[in-house]
């Protein structure tokens, strides 16, 4: 299943990352291009325990 997440703030980023980790194909979009570029570079813009590891495991995992 393919899922789109609009907004990569505290709710969208955590939700999208968790869904990707259980096997869904997730595309996240945001109206702030700086956030998108940071995420593509593997930078986590928010603090959530365990999120860094999940992000690194799933970023660019196609």
Q: What is the pLDDT of residue 56?
A: 92
CA distance linking residue 57 with residue 7, whole number of Å: 20
- Res 60 pLDDT > 80: no
Q: What is the pLDDT of residue 62?
A: 60
Taking each helix axis as running N to C, give the angle between helix 10-21 and helix 51-58, from 0 to 180 degrees, rounded to the nearest 10. Answer: 60
Q: What is the pLDDT of residue 28?
A: 93
Residue 40: pLDDT band with limits 50, 70, 90: confident
- The domain tally of the chain equals 1
Q: Residue 32 in contact with residue 40, Cβ under 8 Å? A: no
pLDDT more than 70, % of the chain: 97
Find the domain containing 11 and state its range: 2-58
Q: What is the pLDDT of residue 8?
A: 94
The pTM (predicted TM-score) of the whole model is 0.87
């Amino acid at each position: 299943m393919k899922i789109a997440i609009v907004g990569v703030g505290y709710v969208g980023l955590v939700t999208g990352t968790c869904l990707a980790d259980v096997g869904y194909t997730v595309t996240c979009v945001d109206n702030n291009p700086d956030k998108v570029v940071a995420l593509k570079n593997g930078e986590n813009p928010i603090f959530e325990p365990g999120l860094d590891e999940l992000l690194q495991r799933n970023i660019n995992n196609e």
